[in-house]
């Protein structure tokens, strides 16, 4: 089943390369991907899809298209286009870092290190966080973290490994610790976002941006936490991070609905109209597979984690994939960007497609993604 799903995604990407040209897909409207000129937080996912397709097929066409996106990311960094946010890790891990991992291209490595430096400018010593959004000192966002940022930390851990400069590691570790302490709640659910006093560093309150309510658990946030803490554990060997990733995964898997693909928020009332977020299930599956890659063969949590990753991926392939729709642009249907904001609440999400393909490549080929070397 995994192989057929990969081949379908590869075939769709072949057509999408023609459709999209040098532009980047984001989310869809009326089943058509909305394109931008490499100005959004999501543009690395298209690069990641192209690199995965290249690694699966060995076809030069995919490689050249992926390398062209890296050149676009180079121009973006040089001109500092839409980079005043924390999502630099999403952008450069899957584009230039992937190229470095696959081809050992020195220019791609240099670009990725420059991207890490750009992310470091989000560090705020008083709060010991990487500020997610907005300029330093911003009244609304100045002292704010979001759980998604855990996926940006691998860029910094990697920069430490490449350069030996401890500052990258220290910032990533501190941010991960703050996230563990303040975003994860006692029952293993999570806040999407948390606020600190920018001057004193005092922890103020949890909240949400895309979730159902301030104290609810946005399913994609929980999925970012599963994968993000697993990756922090991979880089730091800190057992608490792995334990946290497992606990978040348990919370996630215990709340799967009948078809094994999550709704957009675990606390949203379920009616026939409630939206799903297939992208959350794809991210969580990757995160669980990452956890499994770090657990000893005899570990007592392995069996339920394996079953959970399989259920999630089977659910996606069987009930949400577009395998029976050869002309579809996306790989999986029914992602939601922001149900709360009325933004693409039931559409294709390019990150949903990316993580779906990464999970399939993990299952079929033992691929490990592009987050660490």
- CB nearer ligand GLY, residue 180 or residue 220: 220
**31 an active-site residue?**
no
Task: Give whichever of 97 and 220 is closer to ligand GLY, judged by the CB atom.
Answer: 220
Q: Is 338 annotated as a binding residue?
A: yes
Q: How far apart, in whole angstroms, are the C-alpha atoms of residue 287 and residue 232?
A: 11
Contact 258, 239 (CB under 8 A): no
Find out whether 148 is annotated in a ligand binding site: yes
Smallest gap from Cβ 231 to ligand GLY, in A, equals: 15
Say which of 40, 148, 265, 347 is annotated catalytic. 148
Within 65-104, the residues that bind ligand GLY by CB under 6 A are: none
Q: CB 260 → ligand GLY: shortest distance, Å?
A: 21
Number of H helices and E strands in the chain, helices first, is 13, 7
Q: Which of 43, 148, 347, 358 binds ligand GLY (CB under 6 A)?
A: 148
Under 8 Å between Cβ of 290 and 227: yes
Question: Which residue number, 337 or 348, has a Cβ lying nearer to ligand GLY?
Answer: 337
Nearest approach, Cβ of residue 146 and ligand GLY (Å)? 7
Tally Cβ neighbours within 10 Å of residue 300: 7
For residues 283 to 322, the per-residue mask of contacts with ligand GLY, x marking binding by CB under 6 A and - elsewhere, is ----------------------------------------
> What residues from 223 to 252 belong to the interface with ligand GLY (CB under 6 A)?
none
Longest dimension (CA), the chain: 56
Residue 134 beta carbon to ligand GLY: minimum distance, rounded to whole angstroms? 15
89: part of which helix (H) or strand (E)?
Answer: helix 88-93
CB of 220 to ligand GLY, least distance (A): 5
Q: Which is nearer to ligand GLY, 220 or 362 (CB)?
A: 220
List binders of ligand GLY among 323-362 (CB under 6 A).
337
Is 43 annotated for ligand binding? no
- Closest CB to ligand GLY among residues 236, 279: 279
Question: Which of 124, 220, 276, 334 contacts ligand GLY by CB under 6 A?
Answer: 220
How far is the C-alpha of 168 from the C-alpha of 194, rounded, in Å?
22
- The 3-state secondary structure of 232-280 reads HHHHHCCHHHHHHHHHHHHHHHCCCCCCCCCECECCCCCCCCCCECHHH
Q: How many residues bind ligand GLY (CB under 6 A)?
A: 4
Torsion of CA 34, 273, 341, 215, to 10 degrees: -130
**Active-site residue, 148 included:** yes
- Least Å distance, CB 33 to ligand GLY, is 16
Question: What are the structure tokens assigned to 101, written together?
Answer: 């991992």
- Print the binding letters for residues 184-213 with ligand GLY: x by CB under 6 A, - otherwise: --------------------------x---
- Asked if 323 and 8 count as a contact pair (C-beta separation under 8 A), the reply is yes
Residue 371 annotated as part of some ligand binding site: no
Structure tokens at 144: 């704010």
Distance CA 192, CA 217 (A): 7
Contact 42, 92 (CB under 8 A): no
Q: Which of 87, 260, 347, 353 is catalytic?
A: 87
Q: Known binder of ligand: residue 206?
A: yes
- Separation CA 202–CA 196 (nearest Å): 5
208 assigned to a ligand binding site: yes
* Smallest separation (angstroms) from ligand GLY to the CB of 210: 6
Cα 363 from Cα 373, distance rounded (Å)? 18
Asked if 202 and 196 touch (Cβ cutoff 8 Å), the reply is yes
By beta carbon distance, the residue nearest ligand GLY is: 148
Distance of alpha carbon 373 from alpha carbon 370, whole angstroms: 7
Nearer to ligand GLY, 26 or 234 (CB): 26
Nearer to ligand GLY, 56 or 355 (CB): 355
Closest CA to 351 of 155, 134, 94: 94
Q: List, as residue ranges, the binding site for substrate.
A: 87, 148, 206, 208, 220, 224, 338
Q: Which residues bind ligand GLY (CB under 6 A)?
A: 148, 210, 220, 337
**Residues marked as catalytic:** 87, 148
| Known binding positions | 87, 148, 206, 208, 220, 224, 338
């Amino acid at each position: 089943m995994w192989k057929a799903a990969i081949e379908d995604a590869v075939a769709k990407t072949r057509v999408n390369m023609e459709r999209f040209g040098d532009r980047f897909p984001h989310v869809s409207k009326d089943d058509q991907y909305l394109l931008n000129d490499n100005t959004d937080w999501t543009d690395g996912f298209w690069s990641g899809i192209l690199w995965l397709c290249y690694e699966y097929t060995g076809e030069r066409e995919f490689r050249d298209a992926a390398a062209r996106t890296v050149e676009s990311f180079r121009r973006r960094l040089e001109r500092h286009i839409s980079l005043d946010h924390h999502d630099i890790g999403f952008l450069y891990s899957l584009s230039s870092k992937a190229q470095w991992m696959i081809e050992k291209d020195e220019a791609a490595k240099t670009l990725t290190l420059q991207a890490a430096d750009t992310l470091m400018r989000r560090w705020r010593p008083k709060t010991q966080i990487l500020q997610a959004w907005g300029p330093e000192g911003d009244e609304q966002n100045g002292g704010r973290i979001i759980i998604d940022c855990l996926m940006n930390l691998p860029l910094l851990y990697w920069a430490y490994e490449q350069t030996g400069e401890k500052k990258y590691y220290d910032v990533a570790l501190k941010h991960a610790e703050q996230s563990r302490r303040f975003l994860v709640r006692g029952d293993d659910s999570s806040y999407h976002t948390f606020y600190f006093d920018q001057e004193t560093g005092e922890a103020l309150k949890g909240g949400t941006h895309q979730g159902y309510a301030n104290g609810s658990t946005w399913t994609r946030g929980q999925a970012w936490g599963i994968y993000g803490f697993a990756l922090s554990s991979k880089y730091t060997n800190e057992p608490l991070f792995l334990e946290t990733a497992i606990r978040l995964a348990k919370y996630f898997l215990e709340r799967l609905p009948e078809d094994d693909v999550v709704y957009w928020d675990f606390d949203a009332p379920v009616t026939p109209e409630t939206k799903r977020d297939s992208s959350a299930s794809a991210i969580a599956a990757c995160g669980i597979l990452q956890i499994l890659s770090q657990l000893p063969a005899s570990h007592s949590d392995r069996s339920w984690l394996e079953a959970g990753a399989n259920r999630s991926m089977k659910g996606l392939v069987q009930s949400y994939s577009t395998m029976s729709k050869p002309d579809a642009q996306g790989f999986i249907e029914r992602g939601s960007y922001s149900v709360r904001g009325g933004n693409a609440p039931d559409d294709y999400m390019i990150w949903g497609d990316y993580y779906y393909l990464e999970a399939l490549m993990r299952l079929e080929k033992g691929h490990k993604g592009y987050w660490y070397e």
